[in-house]
Amino acid sequence: MKIAIVGVSGAVGQEFLRILEERTLPVDELVLFGSQRSAGRKYNFRGKEIEVKLLQHNDDFKGIDFALTSAGAGTSREFADTITKHGTVMIDNSSAFRMDADVPLVVPEVNPEDAKNAPRRIIANPNCTTIQMVVALNAVEKLSHITRVHVSTYQSASGAGAAGMAELEAQYAELGAGKEPTVAKFAFQLAYNVIPHIDVFTDNDYTKEEMKMFHETRKIMHSDIRVSATCVRVPVMRAHSESVWLETERPVSVEEVRAAFAKEPGVVLMDEPAEKVYPMPLFIAGKDPVYVGRIRKDLTCDNGLTFWCVSDQIKKGAALNAVQILETLI
Ligand SMILES: NC(=O)c1ccc[n+]([C@@H]2O[C@H](COP(=O)([O-])OP(=O)(O)OC[C@H]3O[C@@H](n4cnc5c(N)ncnc54)[C@H](OP(=O)(O)O)[C@@H]3O)[C@@H](O)[C@H]2O)c1
């Protein structure tokens, strides 16, 4: 099998390399792509140095079975035809095609069968905050239909890519040295702060990130579920956290939900509050599953339930989910 990674120098691209090393996929050849910025750079994969090629409109994708793309929505839109024209299946991490009717939006634990119907040979990887939430919601949906969700997210700096991580690190160093912090990637200083603003604002005053959680959840779960989100950037380096409140058609007990989470593929139950056992991003970073804890009945609504959910968004929220889609296909 011949695989390409497009955007290998980025936060998600680097995770692709690590995940392909870790897993047992039969990769006969790996081809790496980037822009002018990283073309010519070399990365090690399974003991071999591979040079990054410049992504261009040519026939470089001929013979490549799968392209794992994470180079932003503009690049995906511009190069989709070039990538897929010789039969390559493009598994795309960007938001470019997620809501297109003829592009499946897939989380393998939730809707793996959708991946089989990709007439444009493009499969979209959902938004990172949506992926971890639907993996958890899927366990509850099997008990009773979820009608609505309120969610507040606590999103790490790495959600904004390699530059986001570098900016947070630099800000703490600058502040520690008594200097003015550099603010470029985020709207404000993130160090010692939280910013209730991710992506651009839309006409209804929700951000694009928040509306992705509304629309993408419905598409993945094939559901009329409504999601009202507040997405917040926090000074955490890696792994996103979410405080989720949901309402089901029939009341479900905390015990039922705990049992459902415990047996749900891709979910790890971490819920022993008396022992201070609950998931936190510092300790979940680098891990594969979606962790849930702090499960409680909602105090304002008989059919309501609330829980806390943490996952490494570069892994399950991006690279790992895309590789799992590839594994589903083969
Ligand atoms: N970070 C996350 O948590 C996360 C989660 C889910 C989805 N995503 C999505 O994944 C994509 C990448 O995110 P990231 O966080 O990895 O960003 P990043 O760290 O900023 O990396 C961006 C990558 O895109 C490449 N690139 C940009 N323009 C290109 C072009 N014209 N041709 C070829 N390569 C190009 C860059 O290569 P050069 O260095 O060569 O320019 C770099 O490898 C985005 O669409 C993002 O929305 C990110």
Mean pLDDT of the region 23-28: 91
What average pLDDT does range 10-18 have in this prediction? 96
User: From the CA of 216, how far away is ligand 1's center (Å)?
Assistant: 20
Residue 128 annotated in active site? yes
Residues 177 and 46 in one domain: no
- Identify whether residues 185 and 270 lie together within a single domain: yes
Is position 309 annotated as part of the catalytic site?
no
Task: Please check whether residues 39 and 150 belong to one and the same domain.
Answer: no
Whether the per-residue pLDDT at 139 is higher than 90: the answer is yes
Mean of pLDDT values over 207-231: 98
Counting atoms of ligand 1 from 1, which one is nearest the CA of 8?
43
Co-location of 250 and 145 in the same domain: yes
Q: Which residues pair with 231 in a beta bridge?
A: 153
What would the mean pLDDT of 200-228 be, rounded to a whole number? 98
The ligand 1 atom at the shortest distance from the C-alpha of residue 96 is 45
Cβ–ligand 1 contact at 71 (below 6 Å): yes
Contact 266, 290 (CB under 8 A): yes
The residue to mutate among 70, 125, 208, having the most atoms of ligand 1 within 8 angstroms of its beta carbon, is 70
Is 0.75 surpassed by the pTM of this model?
A: yes
Provide the pLDDT for residue 27: 94
Distance (Å) from CA 135 to ligand 1 centroid: 24
Residue 246 has pLDDT above 90, yes or no: yes
Cβ(16)–Cβ(9) below 8 Å? no
Total domain count, the chain: 2
Check if 34 has its Cβ closer than 6 Å to any atom of ligand 1. yes
Say which residue the tokens 């994708």 belong to.
Answer: 61
Q: What is the pLDDT of residue 231?
A: 98
Q: Are residues 176 and 281 in the same domain?
A: yes
**pLDDT recorded at residue 303:** 97
Ligand 1 in contact with 164 (CB < 6 A)? no
The mean predicted confidence, pLDDT, of the chain is 97
- If residue 259 lies in a helix (H) or strand (E), which one and from where to where? helix 254-263
9 ligand 1 Cβ < 6 A: yes
Gap from CA of 94 to ligand 1 centroid (Å):
8
- 15 CA to centre of own chain: 12
Clarify whether residues 149 and 33 are in a common domain.
no
Same domain for 150 and 282? yes
Q: How far is CA 35 from the centre of its chain?
A: 23
Digit-coded pLDDT (tens) for 145-189: 999 999 999 999 999 999 999 999 999 999 999 999 999 999 999
Do 151 and 49 fall into the same domain? no
Q: What is the CATH number of the domain that holds 274?
A: 3.30.360.10
Q: Give the β-pairing of 29-34 and 48-54.
A: parallel
Check 57, 240, 301, 309 and give the catalytic one: 240
Is residue 226 located within the same domain as residue 269?
yes
194 has a pLDDT exceeding 90 = yes
The answer, yes or no, to whether any atom of ligand 1 lies below 6 A from the CB of 319, is: no
Q: Radius of gyration of the chain from Cα atoms?
A: 20
All residues at 6 or more sequence positions from 64 whose CB lies less than 8 Å from its CB, including other chains:
2, 3, 4, 31, 86, 88
Domain shared by 38 and 166, yes or no: no
- Whether 24 has a pLDDT exceeding 90, the answer reads no
For residues 80 and 190, membership in a common domain is answered with no
Same domain, 113 and 42: yes
Give yes or no for residue 126 CB within 6 A of ligand 1: no
Please report, for the domain that includes residue 14, its CATH number: 3.40.50.720
36-70 pLDDT, tens per residue? Answer: 999 999 999 999 999 999 999 999 999 999 999 99
- Tell me which residue range forms the domain holding 89: 2-125+319-329
